[in-house]
Every structure is written in structure tokens, then in C-alpha cells.
Structure 1
Amino acid sequence: MWHWFSRAAVSSETADWLVECVSWAMQNFDLERFRQNTPLVLPTNDFFPKQVDSQHAMAEYIFGRVVHFGGIESWPWRVVPPEQFYPAPPPLLGLNPAVRGEGETPILLPVVGQPAELIVTYAPDQIAKPQDLVASMAHAAAQHMLWQSQLAPPGGQELFLQAAEVLAVFMGFGVMVTNSAYAFRGSCAKCYNPRANRQASLSESECLYALALFCDLQRIPRRKVAKHLKSYLHPALKSAYKQIEKHPSTPYLRELAA
């Protein structure tokens, strides 16, 4: 009943899928970058030092930081305000998310009648909730990566959005993905703004398990992670670490990440 009494430990079937999804990401979305140059991005000034003076400038800045840490900043991105965004399948541009990094030059394939750029937008109300904004933009970038790869995620295309969220965690954004996965409505309806909340594709427990798996493979101590999470998630994080320790595929993933 009460949200803060829920456990992070997911079902064995869900754990299997999350482990398979992380393994799939490691094999298809630049394992070397994951090993050598993927930080755990934190909601601190060390990662987001700049201050800006408008909503759109904030959205552009945050997205720029997301694709910088994700190793895809050389891709042809354009951030547009929501009133200029028209949902449509993005063009396939011959981009290669299997090799990410600042030195990579995209190979753009001509697409008749379509601009050679990738469009993202944002929810203006999220500007006041930076962690939701970062997580939303990391998820959007991950969706573009998955689309450009033309790979089917574990479980098939019906799990496209869920797999993209795992991919956002794999890229280093798991803390903010987890912190924004659930928004407590509270007792004051006037204070609750659903437009400011991120629309998560995974449950909070699933996000937390994926984050714990990322940190286990990156050898990041649990205490370092916990101090940046919502306080009620600390026991749940410990449970996730314990479940990962017992999973039969964990030794293989650790060897792959080493």
C-alpha cells in the first residue's frame, strides 16, 4: 500500500530481462566506452555547472550535457520547443551507436524529403525539476540510439521504450532515471503538476535494479550511489545489490565489463 515500504528486489523474470538487456547493451552499444569512459552522472554542479536564463536555453544545455556524457554529441541533434515538435519516425542516417565518442564522425546517408538531423523536444514544466529533465532527455537520446542501430531489443520491439530506458542507465544516467521514476502526488492537489513529472517506461524498482547493476559492473560502492538517491530508496538499493550478487549471470557480466 505505502510506496516507501516497497522492495527494490524485482521478480526473477524481470531480473533476467534486465540482466539480458544490460548484456545486450554491452555487446551492441560500445563496450569499450562503457569500460573506460562512462561515469555515473550525478545531479551536481560537477556534471552540470552552467546556469542559463531561459527555458529553451536550459533544455539545450541539459541535452548537450546528456549527449556529451553519452558520447554522441557529434550526432546532428536539434532541440526544439514543444510547439515546434511534430512526432514522426526519425530518419535513418547511418549513425553507428556501437562506437561512441568525441572523435567519431557520423556518416550521414541522404534521406529524400527529410532533413539530416535528429529532433528532440522537452516539457517546459520539467525545467523546474532538473532530474526529471535530465532523465527524460537521456531516455530520448537512448531511443534515438536504439532506432539508429535498427536492433530489436530483448523481448522484441514492444519493449522498445523499456529497453531504451535501460540503455539510458547504461549510458550513466541511472541515478536521475531512478529518482524521477515515481512522483508522490502528496495531499495537496494544487501543488501537484503532472506535466512536470517524467513519464517512466520502467517501474521505480526496475530502474533501481538497472542502476545497481550498472554500479556493480562499474565497481561503484553502494554508499556513493545511495547518497544521491531519494532517502527511502536506500534499503531498496541494498536489496537490489544482494539480488544481483546471487544472479547466475552476474559473474559473466563482470568478466565482460572488466
Structure 2
Amino acid sequence: MLAGLFGSRTFLDPDIEEWHLGTWGVLTERFGAELSLAETPLALPTRDFFPPTDQTGHGKALHVFGCVRSILKMTEADWPCRLEAQPRRMTGERVSEFVAIGGGSDPDGTFRIEAGEAVITYAPDLLDDPMSLVATLAHEMAHYLLAAESDLVEDETHELMTDLAVAYAGLGVFGANAAFSFEQHGDAFSQGWRSRSSGYLSPRSWAFALAVFGELRGDDRGMETYLKPGIEGLRRQAVKYLRKNPELLTGLRPAG
């Protein structure tokens, strides 16, 4: 009732929503020529984007990395980059004889420039979680994309902008699904819970980003099939909100 009296509520906190839409404008202005939103496909966890491979270990990571690079159109010739595995990390902190709680603070991936070459690292345990592996590699490559834009790199919202660049580049389904996961595990000797967060945007922000991407493209390519139910529910709410407020996307739609 109050919403009816005082106008419609925003989907996100007003300041955050303003930042989202403003950042879409910045990304379009800076990278529209290289990554035209009108031509950017929505990458999905299918064979079309990620052909199967017999590779294991680091070879598998290199295969997935090659697929991510192809989606982003960031070729080795123009974007020299080296992929390295991090030391294997310990997970599953035991708090009693029979209970363990997992979920550490070690990063899933890192990015740095070394002697003119980008170096990206990934946590080896991500090889057992392809969705998170793709999300991590996409996030680190988005760092590379933004690296030449000094004002964006120095911005205090840089990490958030990097996540949004992943959505802008068509890999948002992976980032959204990896945003947060929580699962119970156990065996005959112990039980526990494992949580993992990936990236910096909240699940609600990811849902909004996916809704913006789909509305600007005029096609969501059936992403609902591949999104976690919680994320998909939020995305549908965001789509409904954007369609009730079309002026929010004025000036962001691809020309033509």
C-alpha cells in the first residue's frame, strides 16, 4: 500500500541501482567497439560454448580458459596471458570430532601483470566445480579488460565493476550461479557444511545484471534453464521491474 502511495520501489537500493545503470553506460562507451552488446552472445554451460575435452588437471583448466577467451574475443595475440594453478588449499575446518565447517578466505583466482604479460591463477579445487571455474576465469579476464582504463582501475568500486563487466561480456550466468553456494556434506565419520562465495556482486545484483543484459539484448536465450532457482526467481522479478520502468534503460540499448 505504501508503495502505491509513494511510487514504485526500486529493485535494488537506489544508490546501488543508479551505480549499476551508470556502469552499464560506462562499459558500453569504453568497450562497445570491441564487445558490442548487440553482437555479444549469452554464454551458457553447453557444448556450443564449452566443447567436451579428455584433458584433466591443468590441461582441463587450459581448455576451459581457451573457451572463456574465445567468448570474450580476447586472443593471445592481442591479450598475452599465462594461466597458473595456485598451490592446493586446505578446506574443511574441523570444529569437533564429528563436525567440520568448510569455506576459507583464499581467493579462487588472482590477476597480475608481470613483464608485460598478464598472469591469472586459479584454485585447483575449482576443477571439480566447472561453473565456478568459468566464473573465476571470466572475472580475472575482466580485470585484464579493464586494466588499461586507469580511472576505472582506481575506482573504489573496481571489483564490483569487474563482476558487472563479466555480465556485460555475456558470462553472467556463470558469475550469478557462483555468487554463493551452500551445501551439507557428510560420511560415516563426520558431517558439516561448506559455503563458497565467488565474485563481489550480491545474488540480487547479479539477477539485476542478467535482467538488464537480457532486456538490452531483447533475448534472454532461455537462461532460466541454467540458473539456480533462487537467482532465476530474482531475475524474473528484475525483468518485471525493468519492463514497468522502461525509462531506466533509455540510452543503453544498442543502436539499430
Q: TM-score range by the shorter chain?
A: 0.7 to 0.9
Give the superposition deviation at 1:137: 0.6
Higher relative contact order (CA closer than 8 Å, sequence separation 6+): 1
The C-alpha deviation readout for 1:65-107, integer Å capped at 9, x for no partner, is 11111111231011012149xx99844xxxxxxxxxxxxxxxx
- Identify the residue that residue 218 of structure 1 maps to in structure 2: 217
What is the aligned partner in structure 2 of residue 20 from structure 1? 22
Q: CA deviation at 1:191?
A: 6.1
After superposition, the Cα gap between the structure-2 partners of 1:46 and 1:88, relative to the gap in structure 1 and judged at 3 Å, is closer
Question: Runs (4+) of structure 1 moved beyond 3 Å?
Answer: 87-91, 185-194
**C-alpha contact (below 8 Å) 1:82/1:122 kept by paired residues:** yes
Instruction: Give yes or no for contact 1:138–1:173 (8 Å, CA) kept in 2.
Output: yes
Letter in 2 for 1:136: T
Sequence identity (%): 26
Alignment of 1:103-182 (within 5 A): 114-152=114-152, 157-182=155-180
Cα distance in 2 for residues equivalent to 1:52 and 1:42 = 20
The structure-2 alpha-carbon separation of the partners of 1:207 and 1:64, relative to structure 1 and needing over 3 Å to count, comes to same
> Which residue identity does 2:19 align to in structure 1?
W
What amino acid does structure 1 have at the position aligned with 2:127? I
2:55 to 53, 56, 59: 53
Alignment partners' CA distance in 1, 2:163 and 2:225: 22
Measured in 2, the distance between the counterparts of 1:73 and 1:82 equals 23
Q: Where do 1:26-41 residues align within 5 Å?
A: 26-31=28-33, 33-41=35-43
Q: CA deviation at 1:163?
A: 0.3
Counterpart of 2:82 in 1: which secondary structure? strand
- In 2: Cα distance, 1:66 partner to 1:88 partner: 16
Shift of residue 133, structure 1, vs aligned partner: 0.5
Higher strand share: 2
Match of 1:98 in 2: none
Which amino acid letter does the alignment assign opposite residue 236 of structure 2?
A: K
Q: Residues of 2 paired with 1:124 and 1:148: CA distance?
A: 28
How many residues end up aligned between the 2 structures? 221
Number of the residue aligned with 1:203: 202
- Cα gap change, 1:203/1:89 in structure 2, threshold over 3 Å: closer, same or farther? closer
Give how far 1:63 is off: 1.3
User: For the residues of structure 1 that align with 2:123 and 2:111, how far apart are their CA atoms?
Assistant: 19
Q: The residue matched to 2:119 in structure 1 has which SS?
A: strand
Which stretches in structure 2 are left out of the alignment for 5+ residues?
Answer: 1-9, 89-108
Note the residue ranges of structure 1 that are not aligned, 5 or more in a row: 1-7, 92-113
| 8 Å Cα contact 1:9/1:240 also seen in 2 | yes
Q: What is the match of residue 236 of structure 2?
A: 238
Equivalent-residue separation in structure 2 for 1:117 and 1:131 (angstroms): 26
TM superposition shift of 1:36: 4.4
C-alpha distance 88-185 of structure 1, shift in aligned 2 (>3 A): closer
**1:48 Cα deviation from its structure 2 partner:** 0.5
1:53–1:138 distance in 2 versus 1, CA, 3 Å: same
Alpha-carbon distance between aligned partners in 1 of 2:57 and 2:193, rounded to the nearest angstrom: 20
The offset of 1:52, in angstroms, is 3.3
SS of structure 1 residue aligned to 2:182 = coil
CA RMSD of aligned residues (A): 2.6
Partner of 2:105: none
Following the alignment from structure 1 to structure 2, what is the Cα–Cα distance between the partners of residues 202 and 89?
Answer: 18
Change (3 A) 1:19 1:51: same
Amino acid at match of 1:79: L
Equivalent position SS for 1:10: coil
Structure with more of its chain in helix, by fraction: 1
Pairing 1:78–2:76 present: no
